[in-house]
Amino acid sequence: MTDIHPDADFQRFLAEDRFMIQRSRASGQYVFYPRTIAPGTGARDLEWVEASGLGTVYSTTVVRKKPQEPSYNVALIDLAEGPRMMSRVEGIAPDAVQIGMAVRARIVSQDGEPIVVFELAEADRNG
């Protein structure tokens, strides 16, 4: 067995304001979403490592709601470590998000749960 409990661990890290992904000790392959084994190789040597939080927009869409509800961005982000994840880019208009933009992760609370979102990498996240 393994002492990795993929989703429970990931969510616990997020609650501690840490964006953690997995890495195979032998190959250095990074893995997201969290698993008990490395996809493709089956390696059972995954360890948790802190993500750099840096990424690039791979694709983007705007979900258009009825007029009284705000539209919002949905994007696929290529993490600097390699894996891709769905998220959204905040801090600019949803339709201003463009493929290729450099973005940086931050953890926000949504409906009481911490989630990873992204903002433009140039922006001062403390500003």
Partner 1 sequence: MAESFPRGRTAIVGAATAGLGKSPGFEASDLAALATMAALDQVGLGLEDVDGLFFCHGTDTLGGLSFAQYLGIQPKVIDNSRTGGSAFQCYVELAAWLLDAGAIDTALIAYGSNQATASGKHVSTVQPMRYEAPYRPINPVSSYALAAARHMHQFGTTKAQLGEVAVAARGWAAFNPEAFKRDPLSLDDYLGSRLVSDPLSVLDCCLVTDGAAAVVMTRADRARSLSAKPVYVMGAASETTHREISWMPDLAVTGAARSGARAYAQAGVSAHEIDVVQLYDAFTINTILFLEDLGFCPKGEGGRFVEGGRIAPGGALPVNTNGGGLSCAHPGMYGLLAIVEAVRQLKGEAPGQQIADVELALAHGNGGVLSSQATVILGRDAAL
Where does this chain bind partner 1 (CB under 8 A)?
A: 7, 32-33, 58-64, 72, 74, 76, 84-88, 95, 99-100, 110, 113, 115
Minimum CB–partner distance for residue 4 and partner 1 (Å):
16
Minimum CB–partner distance for residue 11 and partner 1 (Å):
10
What long-range pairs does 33-37 form, CB within 8 A, spacing at least 24? 33/6, 33/85, 34/4, 34/6, 34/7, 34/9, 34/10, 35/6, 36/2, 36/4, 36/6
45/78 with CB nearer partner 1: 78
H-run or E-run covering 52: none
29/87 with CB nearer partner 1: 87
Beta-carbon contacts of 72 under 8 Å, excluding residues fewer than 6 positions away, are: 62, 63, 65, 88, 94
Minimum CB–partner distance for residue 89 and partner 1 (Å):
11
Task: Give the single-character DSSP code of 32.
Answer: S
43/61 with CB nearer partner 1: 61
74/123 with CB nearer partner 1: 74
Minimum CB–partner distance for residue 109 and partner 1 (Å):
11
